[in-house]
């Protein structure tokens, strides 16, 4: 429904926008603070706390992105910041409660909103309007039961091209997202949602909303956003500043723990699992406790500037030590020093002056060091790993002989040469928190991709939180790595403090088009049987394609397809298992393509090479997934492949070496291209076999397509069928072509299908003749292919 899309309406709105921008600029310029009566308490507080909250709108910003008119006739313009002209509010902030109605009102529950208008703008210039009359929309929806309503503004936003940095969604936040992001601050909010349901977007907009709503108790510097890796942090870094929230700390879990250590070591999942396990907290504590020794003889403390010593009885010091064991290690050590000085003072009763000045501090330090050594966290962990005796003693019931063997690592010559691993960082952090109390506590922590956290990382986050106020978002179906899990329960149990827990689910998939998700969804029963698939809201512009190519041609095909997308201006992600990288990078270089290795910490603007694991959270206009079977065979392979297949906003191409097409997804593709391997000479080496009587020409039911690779031993018809059909008829409706039907039916093909037949007929003919001496006419082979 259009409530005024004509030129006059746009002009009237433009006048309003121009006036509001003038007012805003004047306010920023003069900073007079006279905002008169302002809509909400939060707005008033924002004004009181100064102009910092009223982020000046940039040159490329509009004063508003939406307008809503209530049933009583009141109208609100909604934008990124409040604009008020003395007594009149011109634009309300999207974070206010009033504005929430814009997002939450729906045809089913209009919330007294009569109609809404979304503005398309370039800078502050209005280019078009989209109006929604809620009552009219309700009628439409009633006629289309079961359909998800997606308005034009959302569709435009979802189908727009990506460029490697995430954008805000403030114009099109959906009702369920809006509700979740406005959850009370002092909550442990856990948001589960399938790929592309907007978890990251919701988490970031929640951060922005919290900063506005709780501006008295939450400063940007007290809010931390933690992502899974540096590339992800780069990907999201512009959203909060774009919303006007400049000083929020955004980091990755590794960076949060890293301090100034260099992570150079790698380790197996087994060792990472061991180091990240909750039991290691006890091992770390016990190992520190082991470093504290009782004296075996009297302590001799030298007097300052004197050769004489004061002797303290070992029993006295032992008593002190035992009473201080419960303290933080570093604090206990300081207190022991104080006690020793006090004992010295008591021994010197009658000597005038401060005991601390009478005893030699170096002597106290050196005696204490023998009993309670001064240790940094890194030094302690290094020495723990470097000694099987220490590991055995600290490990207690938690570590068996093989775990100790796995953890043991001879100390490097210098501490800076130590091959620290990612999992070590959690242990060092744990040790540091046993040595001294933490100084940095956060009012609120947002964690993205939280489903993969190790217990050690969970503890590290928990101790950085002031009272448990956190937002965790993630997807159990995408949980991979050493701590892949099937539910949120252990994370919630490990991280919760005083704040109540609120679990929410996002149910609508915005990123991935229906045709693409149909393929990924095949993996869900295997990846996460208890997780419900999201409801997808839009269709693809093009069908996903499966390319079946000879092993030797995989990298070249990847480069060709990536180059094709890039030439069309698409932002491309090539998601390939690590073992394919050398060949692919050589093929990229061969075609002189510009590409970026995402493992270097960021994404480039055209083609990006990413592993399935590190593609988590990212998205591209076009995704090329390479060697799906290899991905599937990795640990948590079904989840990794699910992740890889759900990174696209539009195009998906899967490139599989022939014979390595996972049956689980193979059937789901409607478009399959088999690329010829032209060197049929290869086949000359293959021993000729008798034609298989079971593959007796076209009188039999044919369910094959073609095979593009000779292998040794020679493939049987069943092999060919398995390679091409994944063991099942494919596609089902067109799989059973008989001789009879060949004679009678005339098949209409579109251009794409004709091309496919043309490309494959010659090859199939040669293969059938070469392997099985079947003398067939090309016409017949073409007809078979047409029916497939
Ligand atoms: N309400 C919305 N309006 C416009 N775009 C949206 C909306 N919600 C989500 N999107 C877009 O959908 C895409 C996916 O969102 P996001 O990355 O937040 O999903 P996610 O659930 O974190 O996905 P994943 O699990 O794959 O990391 C993004 O491009 C995001 O901008």
Give the pLDDT of residue 85. Answer: 83
> Looking at domain 514-675, which of 3.40.50.300, 3.50.50.60, 3.40.720.10, 3.30.420.40 is its CATH number?
3.40.50.300
For residue 126, the surrounding DSSP H or E stretch is strand 125-133
Give the pLDDT of residue 156. Answer: 84
SS (H, E, C) 347-411: HCCCCCCCHHHHECHHHHHHHHHHHCCCCCHHHHHHHHHCCHHHHHHHHHHHCCHHHHHHHCCCC
Q: Which atom of ligand 1 is nearest to the CA of 506?
A: 21
CATH topology agreement for domains 182-263+436-508 and 514-675 = yes
Is-cis flag, bond preceding 678, omega within 30? no
End-to-end distance of the chain based on CA atoms, in angstroms? 44
Name beta bridge partners: 387. Answer: none
Cα distance between residue 271 and residue 482, in whole Å:
9
Quick: pLDDT tens for 721-771.
Answer: 444 444 332 332 222 222 333 333 455 666 556 666 666 666 665 555 554
ipTM associated with this complex: 0.99
CA 332 to ligand 1 center in whole angstroms: 49
Cα distance between residue 772 and residue 706, in whole Å:
13
List pocket residues of ligand 1, CB cut-off 6 Å: 154, 157-158, 169, 172-174, 177, 193, 195-201, 475, 478, 510-511, 617, 619, 646
Quick: pLDDT tens for 169-194.
Answer: 999 999 999 999 999 999 999 999 99
Cα distance between residue 160 and residue 165, in whole Å:
13
Surface-to-core class of residue 249, CB atoms within 10 Å of its CB (0-12 exposed, 13-18 middle, 19+ buried): middle
Give the pLDDT of residue 650. Answer: 95
CA 17 to ligand 1 center in whole angstroms: 29
Cα distance between residue 78 and residue 489, in whole Å:
39
Give the pLDDT of residue 228. Answer: 93
> Looking at domain 182-263+436-508, which of 3.40.50.300, 3.30.70.1560, 2.40.33.20, 1.10.630.10 is its CATH number?
3.40.50.300
Give the pLDDT of residue 42. Answer: 57
Cα distance between residue 52 and residue 629, in whole Å:
53
Reported pTM: 0.81
Work out the widest C-alpha separation in the chain, in whole angstroms. Answer: 121
Give the pLDDT of residue 751. Answer: 56
Q: Which atom of ligand 1 is nearest to the CA of 643?
A: 26
Which residue from 529, 592, 576, 584 is spatially nearest to 553, judged by alpha carbons?
A: 584
CA 611 to ligand 1 center in whole angstroms: 21
- Sorted by where each begins, the domain ranges of the chain are 1-162, 182-263+436-508, 292-371, 514-675
Residue minimizing CA distance to atom 4 of ligand 1: 169
Intervals of the chain under pLDDT 50:
1-4, 32-39, 50-52, 678-745, 771-773, 775
**Residue 353 known to bind ligand:** no
Which residue from 545, 608, 550 is spatially nearest to 575, judged by alpha carbons?
A: 608
Give the pLDDT of residue 541. Answer: 83
CA 736 to ligand 1 center in whole angstroms: 41
């Amino acid at each position: 429904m259009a409530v005024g899309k004509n030129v006059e309406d746009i002009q009237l709105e433009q006048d309003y926008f121009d006036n509001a921008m003038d007012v805003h600029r004047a306010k920023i310029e003069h900073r007079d603070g006279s905002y008169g009566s302002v809509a909400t308490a939060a707005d008033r507080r924002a004004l009181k706390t100064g102009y910092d909250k009223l982020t000046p709108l940039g040159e490329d910003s509009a004063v508003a992105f939406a307008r809503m008119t209530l049933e009583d006739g009141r109208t609100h313009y909604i934008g990124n910041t409040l604009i008020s002209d003395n007594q009149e509010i011109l634009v309300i902030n999207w974070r206010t409660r009033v504005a929430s109605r814009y997002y939450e009102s729906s045809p089913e529950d209009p919330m007294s909103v009569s109609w809404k208008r979304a503005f398309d703008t370039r800078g502050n210039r209005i280019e078009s309007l989209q109006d929604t009359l809620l009552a009219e929309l309700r009628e439409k929806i009633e006629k289309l039961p079961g359909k998800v309503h997606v308005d034009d503004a959302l569709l435009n936003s979802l189908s727009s091209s990506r460029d490697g940095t995430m954008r805000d969604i403030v114009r099109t936040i959906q009702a369920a997202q809006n509700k979740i992001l406005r959850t009370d601050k002092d909550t442990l909010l856990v948001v589960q949602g399938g790929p592309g349901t907007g978890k990251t977007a919701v988490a970031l907009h929640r951060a922005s909303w919290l900063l506005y709503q709780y501006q008295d108790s939450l400063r940007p510097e007290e809010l931390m956003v933690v992502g899974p890796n540096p590339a992800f942090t780069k990907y999201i870094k512009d959203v909060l500043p774009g919303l006007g929230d400049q000083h929020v700390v955004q980091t990755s879990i590794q960076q949060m723990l890293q301090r100034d250590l260099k992570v150079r070591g790698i380790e197996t999942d087994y060792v990472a699992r061991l180091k990240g396990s909750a039991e290691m907290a006890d091992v770390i504590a016990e190992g520190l406790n082991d470093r504290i020794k009782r004296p075996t003889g009297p302590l001799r403390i030298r007097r300052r500037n004197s050769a004489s010593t004061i002797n303290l009885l070992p029993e006295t010091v032992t008593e002190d030590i035992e009473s201080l064991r419960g303290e933080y290690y570093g604090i206990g050590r300081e207190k022991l020093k104080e006690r020793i000085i006090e004992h010295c003072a008591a021994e010197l009763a009658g000597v005038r002056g401060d005991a601390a000045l009478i005893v030699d501090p170096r002597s106290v330090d050196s005696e204490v060091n023998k009993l309670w050594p001064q240790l940094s966290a890194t030094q302690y962990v290094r020495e723990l790993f470097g000694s099987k005796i220490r590991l055995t003693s600290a490990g207690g019931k938690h570590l068996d002989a093989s775990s100790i063997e796995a953890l043991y690592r001879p100390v490097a010559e210098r501490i800076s040469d130590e091959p620290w691993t990612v999992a070590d960082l959690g242990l060092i952090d744990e040790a540091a928190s046993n040595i001294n109390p933490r100084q940095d506590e956060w009012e609120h922590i947002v964690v993205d991709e939280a489903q993969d956290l190790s217990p050690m990382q969970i503890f590290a986050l928990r101790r950085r939180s002031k009272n448990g106020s956190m937002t965790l978002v993630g997807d159990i179906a995408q949980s991979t790595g050493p701590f892949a899990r099937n539910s949120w329960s252990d994370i919630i149990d490990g991280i919760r403090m005083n704040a109540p827990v609120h679990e929410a689910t996002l149910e609508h998939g915005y990123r991935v088009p229906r045709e693409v998700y149909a393929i990924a969804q095949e993996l869900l029963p295997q990846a996460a049987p208890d997780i419900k698939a999201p409801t997808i809201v839009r269709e693809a512009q093009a069908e996903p394609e499966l390319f079946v190519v000879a092993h030797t041609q995989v990298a070249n095909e990847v480069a060709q397809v990536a180059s094709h997308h890039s030439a069309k201006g698409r932002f491309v992600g090539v998601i390939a298992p690590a073992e394919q990288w050398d060949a692919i990078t050589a093929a990229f270089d061969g075609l002189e393509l510009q590409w970026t290795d995402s493992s270097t910490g960021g994404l480039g603007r055209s083609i990006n090479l990413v592993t399935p694991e590190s593609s988590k959270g990212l998205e591209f206009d076009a995704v090329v997934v390479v060697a799906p079977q290899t991905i599937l065979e990795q640990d948590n392979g079904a989840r990794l492949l699910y992740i890889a297949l759900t990174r696209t906003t539009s195009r998906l191409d899967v490139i599989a070496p022939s014979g390595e097409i996972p049956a689980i997804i193979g059937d789901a593709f409607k478009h399959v291209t088999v690329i010829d391997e032209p060197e049929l000479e290869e086949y000359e080496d293959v021993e000729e076999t008798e034609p298989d009587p079971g593959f007796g020409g076209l009188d039999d039911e044919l369910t094959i397509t073609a095979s593009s690779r000779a292998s040794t031993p020679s493939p049987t018809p069943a092999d060919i069928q398995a390679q091409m059909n994944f063991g099942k008829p494919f596609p089902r409706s067109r799989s059973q072509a008989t001789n009879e039907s060949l004679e009678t039916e005339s098949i209409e093909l579109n251009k794409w299908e004709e091309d496919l037949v043309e490309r494959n007929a010659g090859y199939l003919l040669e293969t059938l003749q070469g392997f099985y001496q079947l003398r067939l006419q090309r016409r017949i082979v073409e007809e078979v292919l047409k029916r497939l």
